[in-house]
């Protein structure tokens, strides 16, 4: 019956005026036409009202002239002055701006936003689902200020790396914590270090596990960006937290919903290459070399568009079927999704089945439970990329030969050079070499909410996140990658189990104008991770993909196990004075199994203050500003070490007598956790009746005592020592602007702008080094992702560093070779060949951090149509164009088309007089046509493209809701919607390569990562998709 | 009351078991603690690795062999800048032997396995001795300290004292009462024979004392006493076996691992064996150790000159150390074969030490006895037949008594006895005598030395580049090791 939501008031007899009558009506959601239950219908001023029932109907005694107010949490309230009607239907619009009243914060607690002393941003699940992307993380770019997302590549099933407010650790995990319904889930990306072959995560990419979450199941996402996330979620959230709330069933009549999506994708941006010169060296034709330094191609020679012929149009279809319903005591939601994606690269495909059942039950007045179980099965086939991959071999295949003919008539690999070092034909590479993963995952989440007393709530949650993956790679015996081993098969079996749980007791009490909340709780995380990898060589049958098909004497295997446990206790105290001032203090103590016993426990607090100045009488009736808050937060957090680092590990030896000896990596029995201290202050304003919303946040986070495995003197007893050290800070600000320029009954225009800018500044590095880098990122030539100290000159006292200022003192720098210069800054030339001398020190040659990024979302609603699009804008930031360097060194670059012109390097000869008053100016001319060593003369610094800007049209969606009048006749359909979406449709950039927003490694690389390194990676394809959504 | 106490008691129990709950930070797939018998075998291989890898270059300094083409930097008493070449002993001492030794000592001390502790200390003492003889100053007091990244250098005198200290501790450990011996289970060299380990320790101490022959405090008696307590015959030699089946367990000098292809026997060693130096008497070791050119003449390369006839078909082309002409054969010969053991320390060397000590003391008779014993044992070691050996001993090449004996006789025969794997010890000798051509008869030196030497001979090897020059440069600067001619600075032991 009606009595479940406790807001029933009695009509006052005295309030009845003349012409009192029964009014009834139906309230629906303006977006999809579904009936809304529990909407408050209030007669303004009369103190009478009611709520809508299970079908959205209400019935109320009213009289003419009264004003009726319809309100519901999360929706904009509507008021209607009554005339003589007896039936009044109403549609309510959800709160469109991101500055809603209630947000889901940590631990699944719904918090009133005004109490929060830090910047928090919410994204609706629907916005993400509308983009039609399979990995919802990609859709977050541009929608959240401070969030920077880098997809590893444009392939299907690619991993995605996320950073919130910049890097947070130079050698640790920089990814935020992903939380689903109050419990963290695993976001691991498989690391190839666990393979027998111990690869550096360049050629293969694996899905990051948070991408398993089905976008159709997401209700909303809240992003916590700074250390305050850790105060609530522990040290795993010291880089921030992305909190996902899934859709729950709503009580009411059962509803079936079905939606589908059909998407076509097409790659349209490619690196440019020259089609003028043939294979050869020093100007002479030689078909047996792989470089293109021969003579010009004779006119009228047919050329082939090998790139265009290789890539195909990708196609994806997704089907979602959902059931939900229930009674007030028990509601449920069952959703199932099937996705099948064929990517733009032949053989690249990805398919996923996700089934999720969630149920909420009210067991008694005081006890309720909410549980869900989600099963995901995903399979990916992903060809190799990077130096081994199809893009590089496509570019190096002679353009005057048809690359689509990749087999000889007898079925063997067609080679042009007949050398064992010849790169594969790209089609041969994707068809003969295999790489696939199959993953099955189950996430269970069970929670119990108990309200023993009116002012006390106890919530307990238990979660299980278990997945297993089987991965397999086959390198064909005729492929360049399989020739040495005569065919190599490597497979792995990965098993992960994450058990976690938390208990929270919250007490709320009011003392006059003061409202206090006290929370105590604890949480536990137990992770078990195991990988068994096996590798064999010398395949007996060339195509048979089974480890049994390899020579047993070549088979090697490797076992990797990691276990870690984390226990936390936390307490928070919030106190608010009226609605004016809020103060909170939080403290958390973590115990981590990965730190030595003496440093295992560490405590970190956080303080926050929030002042809502519009509650002051001064602002009571301001026509301009309806809500204004000033806020400030101070917080500390930490990070623990990866498991098993404290003690060094013994590895088996193959020398005579066998046995064990210590491996390369030293331990550290005194290792301390990493520490962060940060502050944030900002303001939130709502102006002009909430038509304009501004949220401004200024932050600074300083990170201390980074834990790094660093090469050191062997006096440590190891090749790599494990040390604490290094201090760097991120400083910047974010602005969110929410505008509603037009807000009428059937026309609405919302605009959301997210602006982010920050800089990183390195104070010192561990072991007092000049540079810190992760060797995974050293993927091509001599350029790598590094952090440099600001006072680099003291490490290189005699080197002129004037041309190496970009990236100095930055944690997001590119370190690499540059020109050797004299004291005046002139390039030194080698007198024996006229080519520049290269400075073989790793010095800063670029900084990948952008000056600022902007995400601009526009939403238009007119009647039943809605149109939204997202522009992603970036200014500044350098990118290392490794693909261009490869092309240049092969003679395929478009940068120097006329090789017959002699070239003179502008510099001085390195003849001993370079630093004198009269250095010898270079006069040695080099003609590239006959001097192919010209093309290896340029150092890596020449291939760093500086100040890369872009404007991307990321997502465009057009939707049409079939009007309810049309559907009323049909007994079957309750609502229906058609939509059309395009993603990554258009990119405007000054980058000369294909796509500047790619990653040279995958999301598993520790530390700041290889974003801004482009080598052999395809760009994001443009996609167009369409589909329908119906509820029955 | 009870209802309040029970939860607290439960909590207390919970909290006290907390520590063990977190005590899971040891890798289950790779052990982080192991028993001595599993740790010892790889250490032997690393002892060999350090010596063998670096002896390639030191062998050029002492002219055991030369590079097949002319102008090689090591032949010219130089080094390879920016590279880790000749830095392998540094790596073995601090890493592949160093930290594993500490683990054996800890494990042995805990479990009363004093034979393992003794063996471990003996090896470390040997490692300090042979590494400091190569490099001079080393990181001693701050070595293996955790959480440190700048390491100060200590003097060679300190290292020599540490060798003595560790050796004495090892001897005492072996003599501890009441432990049950278990060393045989990991000891692939002496099979657990503690008496031989003690002899090895004395052998090392003998070297330690004898290297100071130029100093006023040198005591020949002490040296002789130590030698007498060391090896009694070739049966006590410290030999590390090689299985020789694949590149992981084969001899570094063998053809399977293919590291010696560019080295060729030197003219100097040939001159010592073919009669040029020794009164026309051909040493029976010559055909066993080396191979003649196709025209049946034994030749070697002159210092830093390479083999100008290294062209296929030339009859005077010098074969490589495996006995083949320009190719890598499947089997080598002598110490250059795949399963040849590596000699760390041998009996003949000790006899020659005794001979030299006695000679310096003035006791010619004792010197002569030791000399003859050493020479005889050296020929046995190479595999000369008893008949050939005796013929040679009776020939004009060998002095007949103490009066005829010269220091040069002792040092030259020692030079031959230590050929190949003993290059490091030979270099100590040559530096003690400052490359004196009156001792090393017939020796000549490269006319064009490495440029940074400023005409001086090489006296030490710079510490390993990628450990010290990259990551510990400040400490090197403090001892002058960054100077371009640092490698020509004589070591402490050879100074008076």
Residue of A nearest to B37 (CA): A659
Using the structure block, give the residue that is written with the tokens 């072996």. B174
Chain A CB contacts of B245 under 8 Å are none
The Cα B131–Cα B63 span in angstroms is: 20
Instruction: Output the pLDDT for position A70.
Output: 85
- Residues with Cβ within 8 Å of B42's Cβ and at least 6 positions away in sequence, in order, are A653, A655, A657, A658, A659, A660, A661, B96, B100
Considering CB atoms only, which of B25, B100, B471 is closest to A644? B25
Instruction: Output the pLDDT for position A8.
Output: 36
Instruction: Output the pLDDT for position A450.
Output: 93
Higher pLDDT, A47 or A864: A864
The residue among B133, B176, B179, B175 whose CA lies nearest residue B157 is: B133
Instruction: Output the pLDDT for position A244.
Output: 92
Chain B CB contacts of A672 under 8 Å are none
Using the structure block, give the residue that is written with the tokens 């630093």. A915
DSSP-derived letter for residue A298 is P
Any chain A CB within 8 A of the CB of B135?
no
Chain B CB contacts of A667 under 8 Å are 146
Q: Residue B10's CB: how many other CB atoms inside 10 A? A: 10
Q: Is A794 helix (H, G, I), strand (E, B) or coil?
A: helix
The Cα B50–Cα B43 span in angstroms is: 11
The Cα A510–Cα A784 span in angstroms is: 57
User: How many cross-chain Cβ pairs, A to B, lie less than 8 Å apart?
Assistant: 175
Q: Which two tokens stand for residue A1031?
A: 């509820």
Whether the predicted pLDDT of B9 surpasses 60: no
The pair phi, psi for residue A195, each rounded to 5°, is -80, 155
The residue among A527, A508, A379, A521 whose CA lies nearest residue A453 is: A508
DSSP-derived letter for residue B491 is P
Q: Which two tokens stand for residue B381?
A: 């070691």
- Which residues 713-732 of A are in CB contact (within 8 Å) with B? 713-719, 721, 723-724
Residue of A nearest to B27 (CA): A644
Q: Is B439 helix (H, G, I), strand (E, B) or coil?
A: coil
The residue among A316, A318, A353, A563 whose CA lies nearest residue A438 is: A353
The Cα B223–Cα B206 span in angstroms is: 5
Instruction: Output the pLDDT for position A633.
Output: 92
Any chain A CB within 8 A of the CB of B29?
yes
Can you tell me the mean pLDDT for A947-968?
Answer: 88
The Cα A73–Cα A36 span in angstroms is: 11
Instruction: Report the b/e string of B209-220 with b at 16+ CB within 10 A.
Output: bbbbbeeeebeb
- Which residues 558-587 of A are in CB contact (within 8 Å) with B? 559-565, 567
Chain A CB contacts of B188 under 8 Å are 656-657
The residue among A559, A366, A370 whose CA lies nearest residue A448 is: A370
Q: Which two tokens stand for residue A215?
A: 């976008």
DSSP-derived letter for residue B135 is H
Torsion of CA A609, A614, A615, A620, to 10 degrees: 170
Instruction: Report the b/e string of B107-119 with b at 16+ CB within 10 A.
Output: bbeeeebbbbbbb
* pLDDT digit string, tens, across residues B18-33: 678 888 888 888 777 7
Q: How far is B66 from chain A (nearest CA, A)?
A: 28
Mean residue pLDDT across chain A? 87
* pLDDT digit string, tens, across residues A522-563: 999 999 999 999 999 999 998 899 999 999 988 888 899 999
The Cα A505–Cα A516 span in angstroms is: 14
* pLDDT digit string, tens, across residues A604-648: 999 999 999 888 888 777 788 888 899 999 999 888 888 888 888
Whether the predicted pLDDT of A2 surpasses 50: no
Higher pLDDT, A861 or B17: A861
Q: Report the sign of the C-alpha dihedral through residues B420, B426, B428, B430, in that order.
A: negative
Residues A63/A82, Cβ–Cβ less than 8 Å: yes
Strand A434-453 to strand A456-475: parallel, antiparallel, or no bridges (unpaired)?
antiparallel
Q: How far is A664 from chain B (nearest CA, A)?
A: 8
Residues A799/A838, Cβ–Cβ less than 8 Å: no
Residues A191/A208, Cβ–Cβ less than 8 Å: no
- Residues with Cβ within 8 Å of B354's Cβ and at least 6 positions away in sequence, in order, are B223, B224, B227, B228, B366, B367, B370, B374
Instruction: Output the pLDDT for position A106.
Output: 57
Strand A879-881 to strand A903-904: parallel, antiparallel, or no bridges (unpaired)?
unpaired
* pLDDT digit string, tens, across residues A279-331: 888 888 888 888 888 888 888 889 888 888 999 999 999 999 999 998 888 99
- Judged by average pLDDT, the poorest of A114-128, A497-511, A896-910 is A114-128
Can you tell me the mean pLDDT for B340-368?
Answer: 95
> Rounded to whole angstroms, what are the CA distances from A218 to A114, A382, A465?
24, 27, 18
Whether the predicted pLDDT of A597 surpasses 70: yes
* pLDDT digit string, tens, across residues A754-789: 999 999 999 999 888 899 988 888 888 899 999 999
The Cα B353–Cα B207 span in angstroms is: 8
Residue of A nearest to B97 (CA): A661
- Which residues 38-57 of B are in CB contact (within 8 Å) with A? 38-46
> Rounded to whole angstroms, what are the CA distances from A723 to A502, A674, B466?
32, 11, 18
Residue A522, strand partner residues: A503, A569
Whether the predicted pLDDT of A981 surpasses 80: yes
Whether the predicted pLDDT of A1002 surpasses 50: yes
The residue among A390, A418, A386 whose CA lies nearest residue A404 is: A390
Q: Which two tokens stand for residue A707?
A: 């834990």
Query: Which pLDDT band, with edges at 50, 70 and 90, does A110 fall under?
Result: low
Strand A90-92 to strand A57-62: parallel, antiparallel, or no bridges (unpaired)?
unpaired
The Cα angle at residue B428 between residues B424 and B431, in degrees rounded to 5:
130
Global pTM exceeds 0.95: no
Q: Spell out the alpha helix ranges (H) of A222-348.
A: 228-233, 306-310
Instruction: Output the pLDDT for position B21.
Output: 83
Determine the angle formed by the axes of helices B156-174 and B114-135, rounding to 10 degrees. 160
Whether the predicted pLDDT of A471 surpasses 90: yes
Q: Which two tokens stand for residue B476?
A: 């090197």
- Which residues 215-254 of B are in CB contact (within 8 Å) with A? 240-243, 246, 248-249
Over pLDDT 70: what percentage of chain B? 96
The Cα A869–Cα A981 span in angstroms is: 9
> Rounded to whole angstroms, what are the CA distances from A263 to A63, A383, A754, A1023?
53, 21, 28, 7
Please name the helix (run of DSSP H) or strand (run of DSSP E) that holds residue A395, with its range, or none: helix A390-396
Whether the predicted pLDDT of A13 surpasses 60: no
- Which residues 621-640 of A are in CB contact (within 8 Å) with B? none
Over pLDDT 90: what percentage of chain A? 42
The Cα A347–Cα A594 span in angstroms is: 41
Q: How far is B479 from chain A (nearest CA, A)?
A: 16
The Cα A950–Cα A820 span in angstroms is: 32
Determine the angle formed by the axes of helices B36-61 and B114-135, rounding to 10 degrees. 20
Considering CB atoms only, which of B27, B146, B149 is closest to A669? B146
Chain A CB contacts of B471 under 8 Å are 711-713, 767
Greatest extent of chain A over all pairs of C-alpha atoms, in Å? 108
Mean residue pLDDT across chain B? 91
Whether the predicted pLDDT of A930 surpasses 70: yes
* pLDDT digit string, tens, across residues B259-314: 898 999 999 999 999 999 999 999 999 999 999 999 999 999 999 998 988 888 88
Q: How far is A715 from chain B (nearest CA, A)?
A: 5
Interface test with B, best of A667, A714, A768, A769 (most B CBs within 10 A): A714
Instruction: Output the pLDDT for position A99.
Output: 38
Q: Is B375 helix (H, G, I), strand (E, B) or coil?
A: helix
The Cα A393–Cα A307 span in angstroms is: 10
* pLDDT digit string, tens, across residues A685-740: 988 878 899 999 999 999 999 898 888 899 999 998 888 888 999 999 999 999 98
* pLDDT digit string, tens, across residues A362-411: 998 899 999 999 999 999 999 887 777 788 888 888 888 898 888 999 88
Instruction: Output the pLDDT for position A32.
Output: 64
Considering CB atoms only, which of A561, A668, A718 is closest to B95? A718
Chain A CB contacts of B90 under 8 Å are 714
* pLDDT digit string, tens, across residues A665-679: 888 888 999 999 999
Chain B CB contacts of A644 under 8 Å are 25-27, 32
Residue of A nearest to B243 (CA): A656
Query: Which pLDDT band, with edges at 50, 70 and 90, does B473 fall under?
Result: confident
Can you tell me the mean pLDDT for A944-973?
Answer: 86
Q: Spell out the alpha helix ranges (H) of B383-469.
A: 386-394, 407-417, 423-432
DSSP-derived letter for residue B96 is I
- Residues with Cβ within 8 Å of A913's Cβ and at least 6 positions away in sequence, in order, are A919, A920
- Judged by average pLDDT, the poorest of A362-366, A987-991, B92-96, B348-352 is A362-366
Three-state SS letters, A97-155: CCCCCEEECHHHCEEEHHHCCCCEEEEEHHHHHHCCCCCHHHHHCCCCCCEEEEECCCC
Residue A747, strand partner residues: A862
Considering CB atoms only, which of A654, A670, A714 is closest to B467? A714
Higher pLDDT, A312 or A86: A312
> Rounded to whole angstroms, what are the CA distances from A508 to A365, A458, A517, B241?
18, 12, 4, 77
Q: Is B393 helix (H, G, I), strand (E, B) or coil?
A: helix
Can you tell me the mean pLDDT for B99-117?
Answer: 92
Whether the predicted pLDDT of A9 surpasses 50: no
Considering CB atoms only, which of B31, B144, B146 is closest to A670? B146
- Which residues 9-38 of A are in CB contact (within 8 Å) with B? none
Residues A23/A965, Cβ–Cβ less than 8 Å: no
The Cα angle at residue B293 between residues B289 and B295, in degrees rounded to 5:
135
- Judged by average pLDDT, the poorest of A78-82, A435-439, A831-835 is A78-82
Query: Which pLDDT band, with edges at 50, 70 and 90, does A103 fall under?
Result: low
The residue among A997, A859, A976 whose CA lies nearest residue A127 is: A859
Can you tell me the mean pLDDT for A990-1017?
Answer: 88
Any chain B CB within 8 A of the CB of A743?
no
Q: Alpha carbon B368 to chain centroid distance?
A: 26
The Cα B173–Cα A473 span in angstroms is: 53
Residues A844/A784, Cβ–Cβ less than 8 Å: no
């Amino acid at each position: 019956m009606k009595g479940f939501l406790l807001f029933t008031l009695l009509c006052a007899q005295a309030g009845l005026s003349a012409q009192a009558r029964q009014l009834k009506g139906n309230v629906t959601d303006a977006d999809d036409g579904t009936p809304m239950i529990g909407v408050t219908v209030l007669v303004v001023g009369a103190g009478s009202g009611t709520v809508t029932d299970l079908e959205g109907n209400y019935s109320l005694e009213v009289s003419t002239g009264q004003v009726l107010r319809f309100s519901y949490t999360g929706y904009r309230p509507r008021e209607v002055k009554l005339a003589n009607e007896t039936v009044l239907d109403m549609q309510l619009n959800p709160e469109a701006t991101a500055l809603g009243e209630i947000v889901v914060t940590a631990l699944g607690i719904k918090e009133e936003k005004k109490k929060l002393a830090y910047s928090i941003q919410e994204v609706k699940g629907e916005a993400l689902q509308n983009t039609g992307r399979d990995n919802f993380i990609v859709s977050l770019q541009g929608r959240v200020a401070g969030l920077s997302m880098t997809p590893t590549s444009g392939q299907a099933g690619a991993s995605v790396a996320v950073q919130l407010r910049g890097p947070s650790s130079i050698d640790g995990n920089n990814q935020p914590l992903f939380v689903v319904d109050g419990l963290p889930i695993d976001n691991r990306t498989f690391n190839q270090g666990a393979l027998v072959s111990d690869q550096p995560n360049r050629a293969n990419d694996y899905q990051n596990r948070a991408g398993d979450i089905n976008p159709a199941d997401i209700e909303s996402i809240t992003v916590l960006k700074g250390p305050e996330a850790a105060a609530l979620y522990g040290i795993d959230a010291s880089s921030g937290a992305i909190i996902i709330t899934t859709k729950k069933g709503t009580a009411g009549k059962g509803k079936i919903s079905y939606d589908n999506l059909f998407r076509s994708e097409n790659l349209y941006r490619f690196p440019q290459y020259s089609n003028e010169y043939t294979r050869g060296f020093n100007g002479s034709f030689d078909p047996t070399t792989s470089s293109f330094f021969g003579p010009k191609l004779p006119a009228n020679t047919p050329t082939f568009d090998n790139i265009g012929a290789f890539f195909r149009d990708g196609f994806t279809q997704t089907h979602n079927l959902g059931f939900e319903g229930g009674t007030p005591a028990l509601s449920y939601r069952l959703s199932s999704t099937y996705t099948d994606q064929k990517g733009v690269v032949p053989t690249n495909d990805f398919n996923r089945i996700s089934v999720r059942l969630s149920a909420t039950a009210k067991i008694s007045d005081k006890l309720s439970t909410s549980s869900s179980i989600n099963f995901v099965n995903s399979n990916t086939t992903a060809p190799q990329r990077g130096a081994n991959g199809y893009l590089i071999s496509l570019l190096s295949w002679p353009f005057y030969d048809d690359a689509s003919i990749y087999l000889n008539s007898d079925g063997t690999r067609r080679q042009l050079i007949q050398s064992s070092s010849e790169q594969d034909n790209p089609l041969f590479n994707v068809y003969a070499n295999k790489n696939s993963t199959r993953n099955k995952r189950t996430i269970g989440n069970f929670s119990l909410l108990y309200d023993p007393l009116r002012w006390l709530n106890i919530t307990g949650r238990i979660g299980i996140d278990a997945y297993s993956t089987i991965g397999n790679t086959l390198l064909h015996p005729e492929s360049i990658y399989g020739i040495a081993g005569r065919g190599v098969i490597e497979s792995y079996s990965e098993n992960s189990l994450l058990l976690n749980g938390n208990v929270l007791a919250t007490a709320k009490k009011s003392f006059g104008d003061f409202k206090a909340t006290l929370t105590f709780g604890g949480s536990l995380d137990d992770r078990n991770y195991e990988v068994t990898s096996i590798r064999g060589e010398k395949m007996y049958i060339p195509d048979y993909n089974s480890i049994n098909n390899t020579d047993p004497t070549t088979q090697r295997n490797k076992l990797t196990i990691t276990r870690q446990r984390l226990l936390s206790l936390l307490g928070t105290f919030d106190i608010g004075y009226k609605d004016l001032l809020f103060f909170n203090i939080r403290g958390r103590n973590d115990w981590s199994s990965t730190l030595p016993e003496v440093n295992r426990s560490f405590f970190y607090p956080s303080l926050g203050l929030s002042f809502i100045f519009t509650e002051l009488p001064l602002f009571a009736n301001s026509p301009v500003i309806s809500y204004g808050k000033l806020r400030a937060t101070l917080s500390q957090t930490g990070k623990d070490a990866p498991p098993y680092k404290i003690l060094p590990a013994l590895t088996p030896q193959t020398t005579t007598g066998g046995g064990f000896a210590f491996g390369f990596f030293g331990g550290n029995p005194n290792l301390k956790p990493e520490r962060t201290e940060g502050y944030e202050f900002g303001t939130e304003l709502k102006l002009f009746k909430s038509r304009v919303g501004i949220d401004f946040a200024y932050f600074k986070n300083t990170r201390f005592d980074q834990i790094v495995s660093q090469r050191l003197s062997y006096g440590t007893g190891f090749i790599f020592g494990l040390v604490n050290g290094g201090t760097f800070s991120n400083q910047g600000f974010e602005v969110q602007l929410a505008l509603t320029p037009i807000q009428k009954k059937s026309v609405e225009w919302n605009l959301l702008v997210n602006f982010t800018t920050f800089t990183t500044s390195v104070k010192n590095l561990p072991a007092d080094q000049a540079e810190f880098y992760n060797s995974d990122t050293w993927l091509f030539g001599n350029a790598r992702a590094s952090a440099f100290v600001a006072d680099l000159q003291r490490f290189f006292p005699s080197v002129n560093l004037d041309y190496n200022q970009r990236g100095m003192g930055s944690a997001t720098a590119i370190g690499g070779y540059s020109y050797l210069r004299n004291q005046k800054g002139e390039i030194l030339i080698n007198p024996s060949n006229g080519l520049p001398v290269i400075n073989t020190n790793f010095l800063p040659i670029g900084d990948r951090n952008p000056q600022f990024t902007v995400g601009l979302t526009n939403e238009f609603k007119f009647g039943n149509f809605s149109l939204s699009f997202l522009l992603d804008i970036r200014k500044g930031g350098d990118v290392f164009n490794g693909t261009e360097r490869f092309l240049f060194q092969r003679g395929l670059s478009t940068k120097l088309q006329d090789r017959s012109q002699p070239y003179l390097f502008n510099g001085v000869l390195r003849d001993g007089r370079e630093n004198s008053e009269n250095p010898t100016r270079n006069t040695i001319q080099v003609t590239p046509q006959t001097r192919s060593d010209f093309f290896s003369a340029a150092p890596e610094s020449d291939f760093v493209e500086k100040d890369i800007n872009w404007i991307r049209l990321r997502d465009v969606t057009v939707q049409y809701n079939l009007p309810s009048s049309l559907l009323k006749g049909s007994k079957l359909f309750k609502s229906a919607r058609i939509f059309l979406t395009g993603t990554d449709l258009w990119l405007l950039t000054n980058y000369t390569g294909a796509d500047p927003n790619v990653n040279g490694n995958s999301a598993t690389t520790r530390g700041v990562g290889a974003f801004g390194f482009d080598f052999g990676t395809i760009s994001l394809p443009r996609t167009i998709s369409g589909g329908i959504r119906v509820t029955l | 009351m009870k209802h309040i106490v029970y939860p607290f008691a439960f909590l207390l129990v919970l909290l006290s078991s907390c520590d063990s709950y977190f005590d899971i930070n040891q890798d289950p797939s790779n052990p982080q603690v192991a028993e001595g018998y599993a740790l010892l075998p790889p250490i032997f291989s690393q002892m060999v690795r350090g010596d063998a890898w670096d002896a390639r270059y030191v062998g050029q300094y002492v002219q055991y062999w030369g590079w097949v083409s002319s102008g090689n930097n090591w032949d010219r008493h130089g080094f390879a800048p920016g590279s880790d070449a000749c830095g392998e002993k540094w790596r073995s001492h601090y890493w592949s032997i160093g930290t594993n030794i500490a683990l054996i000592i800890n494990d042995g001390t805990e479990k009363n396995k004093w034979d393992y502790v003794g063996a471990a200390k003996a090896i470390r003492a040997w490692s300090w001795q042979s590494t400091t003889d190569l490099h001079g100053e080393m990181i001693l007091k701050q070595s293996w300290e955790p959480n440190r990244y700048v390491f100060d250098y200590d003097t060679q005198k300190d290292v020599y004292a540490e060798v003595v200290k560790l050796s004495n501790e090892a001897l005492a450990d072996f003599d501890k009462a009441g432990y049950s011996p278990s060393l045989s289970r990991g000891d692939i060299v002496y099979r657990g024979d503690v008496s031989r380990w003690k002899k090895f320790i004395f052998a090392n101490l003998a070297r330690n004392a004898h290297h100071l022959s130029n100093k006023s405090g040198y005591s020949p008696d002490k040296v002789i006493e130590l030698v007498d307590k060391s090896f009694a015959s070739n049966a006590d030699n410290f030999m590390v076996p090689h299985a020789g089946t694949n590149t992981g367990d084969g001899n570094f000098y063998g053809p399977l691992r293919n590291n010696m292809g560019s080295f060729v026997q030197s003219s100097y060693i040939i001159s010592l064996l073919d009669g040029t130096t020794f009164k026309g008497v051909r040493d029976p070791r010559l055909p066993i150790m080396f191979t003649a050119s196709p025209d049946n003449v034994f030749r070697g390369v002159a210092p830093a000159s390479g083999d100008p006839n290294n062209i296929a078909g030339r009859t005077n082309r010098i074969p490589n150390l495996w006995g083949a002409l320009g190719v890598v054969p499947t089997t080598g010969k002598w110490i250059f074969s795949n399963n040849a053991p590596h000699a760390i320390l041998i009996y003949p060397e000790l006899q020659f030490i005794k001979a030299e000590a006695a000679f310096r003391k003035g006791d010619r008779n004792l010197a002569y006895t030791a000399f003859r014993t050493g020479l005889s044992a050296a020929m046995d070691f190479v595999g000369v037949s008893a008949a050939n050996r005796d013929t040679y001993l009776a020939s004009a090449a060998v002095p007949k008594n103490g009066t005829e004996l010269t220091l040069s006789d002792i040092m030259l025969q020692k030079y031959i006895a230590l050929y190949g794997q003993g290059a490091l010890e030979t270099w100590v000798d040559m530096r003690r005598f400052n490359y004196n051509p009156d001792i090393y008869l017939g020796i000549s030196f490269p006319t064009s030395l490495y440029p940074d030497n400023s005409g001086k001979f090489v006296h030490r090897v710079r510490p390993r580049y990628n450990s010290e020059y990259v990551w510990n440069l400040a400490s090197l600067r403090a001892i002058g090791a960054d100077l371009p001619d640092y490698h020509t600075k004589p070591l402490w032991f050879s100074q008076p």
